């Protein structure tokens, strides 16, 4: 099995935040898969610094701060997470992936990829894994909730 780089720790350390552990954690493992796939990108601002955007204002008209930016398929989700952890970040990624526009674009990109697209082997084509419904609404991070994945072949010699 190919070694997956721990991009989550790189992401957190570069933002001057504590490391999140190794790939034994479900949260770190799922985030590393997402980051290694390269479909969704995540940016974390340094501790104590916040981004603002004029289109994000609260009820009092004040600019809302955000410290995480999740993007993919031409869409962006900006959010503020207080004490940022891998679990909190994965929950925000799940909200991004649960957006029907994101899963629709993911499904379309798979269908037009020319690769062998099959029902997702991890969630059996459901898009969610019920055993993980208490975590990120059970979204399947293998297929990003689209119910399809690319067939993986193993060759024996």
DSSP assignment of 91-155: HHHHHHHHSHHHHHHHHHHHHTS-S-EEE-TTTTTSSB-GGGTTTGGGB-TTTTTSSEEE-----
Cβ-proximal residues to 72 (8 Å cutoff; 6+ apart), any chain: 39, 40, 41, 96, 102
Query: How far apart are alpha carbons 117 and 109 in whole angstroms?
Result: 10
3 state SS of 66: strand
pLDDT in tens, 115-154: 677 888 889 988 888 888 887 788 888 888 878 877 655 5
Q: Look up the pTM and report it.
A: 0.79
Average pLDDT over residues 85-102: 87
Average pLDDT over residues 5-26: 87
Cβ-proximal residues to 12 (8 Å cutoff; 6+ apart), any chain: 18, 19, 20, 44, 84, 86
3 state SS of 9: helix
Average pLDDT, the chain: 83
Ramachandran category for residue 54: left, alpha or beta (phi over 0 → left; psi -120 to 50 → alpha): alpha
Query: How far apart are alpha carbons 7 and 143 in whole angstroms?
Result: 19
User: How many other β-carbons are positioned within 10 Å of the β-carbon of residue 156?
Assistant: 3
| CA angle 1–137–29, rounded 5-degree value | 25
Q: How far is CA 148 from the centre of its chain?
A: 16
């Amino acid at each position: 099995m190919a070694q997956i780089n721990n991009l989550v720790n790189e992401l957190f350390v570069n933002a001057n935040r504590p490391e999140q552990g190794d790939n034994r954690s479900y949260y770190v493992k799922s985030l590393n898969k997402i980051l290694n796939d390269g479909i969704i990108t995540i940016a974390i601002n340094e501790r104590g610094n916040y981004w603002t955007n004029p289109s994000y204002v609260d009820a009092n008209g004040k600019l809302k701060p955000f410290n995480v930016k999740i993007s993919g398929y031409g869409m962006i989700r900006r959010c503020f997470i207080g004490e940022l952890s891998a679990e909190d970040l994965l929950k925000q990624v799940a909200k991004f992936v649960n957006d029907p526009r994101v899963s629709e674009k993911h499904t379309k990109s798979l269908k037009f990829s020319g690769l062998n697209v099959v029902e997702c082997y991890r969630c059996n084509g459901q898009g969610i894994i019920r055993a993980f419904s208490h975590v990120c609404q059970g979204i399947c991070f293998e297929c990003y909730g689209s119910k399809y994945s690319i067939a993986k072949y193993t060759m024996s010699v």
